[in-house]
Amino acid sequence: DSTDFKSIAVTTIDGEATTMGKVLEGKKVALIVNVAALEVADRDYKQLVQTHSELADKGFEVICFPCNQFGAQEPKCDADVAKFVRDKYSAKFPIMSKCEVNGPNAHAVYQHLKANSSLGAAGELKWNFEKFLVNSDGSIIAMHGSKTEVNSFKADVVAALS
């Protein structure tokens, strides 16, 4: 339910406690992505930043959740992740504190996303950079796997904003 999604507590990578409702305030559509700050992620980050800069003023948000559950590809602490993403890519979108997306300690945002997607509540994300396109109330518009480039579904993002 959308009220539940908006009330989910999140912590930004800078340590600020907030809710998904506040993060999404004034936004129509968001792309929620579990990320890892590695050189192999270069294409993914560049496309996230490009799409965000093109569409942010139309009500689009990117929300990244760093995660170290896949190949230990995100071993950095929050401060180092923030520095990497902001310095290397000039990212202006919200980055949350590092979390788990699978298993018993999965963050509540990912519990919601999985339960309300084709994965189902017991489903698991398979790798970094899995993408959930959602409305501002947390309703899932589409889910894209880690190998799907953001540019390949940018038209869907634009359509969801109109």
Q: How many CB atoms lie within 10 A of CB 59?
A: 16
pLDDT at 39: 64
Q: Flag whether the pTM goes above 0.85.
A: yes
Percent of residues, the chain, with pLDDT higher than 90: 85
* Alpha-carbon gap, residue 20 to 145, rounded angstroms: 22
* Alpha-carbon gap, residue 70 to 106, rounded angstroms: 13
Q: Report which secondary-structure segment, H or E, holds 143.
A: strand 140-144
* Alpha-carbon gap, residue 95 to 14, rounded angstroms: 8
* Alpha-carbon gap, residue 1 to 147, rounded angstroms: 29
pLDDT in tens, 54-112: 999 999 999 999 999 998 889 899 999 999 999 999 999 999 999 999 999 999 999 99
- Judge whether 48 and 150 are in contact, CB under 8 Å: yes
Q: What are phi and psi of 54, to 5 degrees?
A: -75, -35
pLDDT at 109: 97
